[in-house]
Amino acid sequence: MGKLNLHTIFILCSLLLLAYTSYVSGKTVTPVDKWFKKIKKSSTPKFKIIEFYVQDIVSGEGQTVFPVGYSNISFTSPTNFGITVVADDRVTVGRDPKSPDLARGQGMAALADLEDRVLYLNVVFYFTQGKYKGSSVAVLGRDPMLVNSRELSITGGTGAFRSARGVTWVTNCSPYSPTGYTCFKYTLYFTHF
């Protein structure tokens, strides 16, 4: 074991100081850091129910849903298997399409069942108005849109809804139209921190 002389002590101290200053200056404290620290101390979930209406327009004026892909059996399979769309739907406070905006429903859906008309749906509801402006909730699930009510997962969230987990109950508030306009009512039940 070598002897500790003044010279090696000086070098060790310099290295430690250098490591410490680069650690401090390199670390940016983000809002997520602060939130994570807070929930580490007290992680009581908040329970939330939010209701809104999704205005889904597949063709014509104000179209918000656009096909982006097909499979080679999309037009021969009884369920149009593989048709994939990307949507940026208006999300409103009320059922009426003229009702004020609340959010956007941005995501993808694919017909993903060989036997029934069922969508695999993956959509982020991004709030553009009100007290949740800038926050989002992610919804993922199997969506049999011809069944009048169904349940999808809530898999996550950002901003006011960080760590969201729950389910959303979806009903059609106008007759389902795969080529025109349909209104969907979403009621989200979730916990977040």
Ligand X SMILES: *[C@@H]1O[C@H](CO)[C@@H](O)[C@H](O)[C@H]1NC(C)=O
Give the interface with ligand X as residue ranges (CB under 6 A).
72-73
Backbone angles phi, psi at 103, to 5 degrees: -155, 180
Measuring CA to CA, which residue among 159, 158, 156 is closest to residue 190? 156
Least distance from ligand X to the Cβ atom of residue 82, Å: 10
Comparing CB distances to ligand X, the nearer of 80 and 122 is 80
DSSP E strands in 59-162: the ranges are 65-69, 84-92, 101-111, 119-127, 136-143, 149-158
Least distance from ligand X to the Cβ atom of residue 136, Å: 36
> Which residues are CB-neighbours of 168 under 8 A, at least 6 positions away?
139, 151, 152, 153, 154, 186, 187, 188, 189, 190
Least distance from ligand X to the Cβ atom of residue 142, Å: 24
Comparing CB distances to ligand X, the nearer of 70 and 193 is 70
Tell me if residue 174 falls in helix, strand or coil: coil
Strand partners, 95: none
Nearest residue to ligand X, scored by beta-carbon proximity: 72
Least distance from ligand X to the Cβ atom of residue 114, Å: 13
DSSP 162: T
Comparing CB distances to ligand X, the nearer of 74 and 191 is 74
Comparing CB distances to ligand X, the nearer of 15 and 73 is 73
Comparing CB distances to ligand X, the nearer of 82 and 159 is 82
Least distance from ligand X to the Cβ atom of residue 73, Å: 5
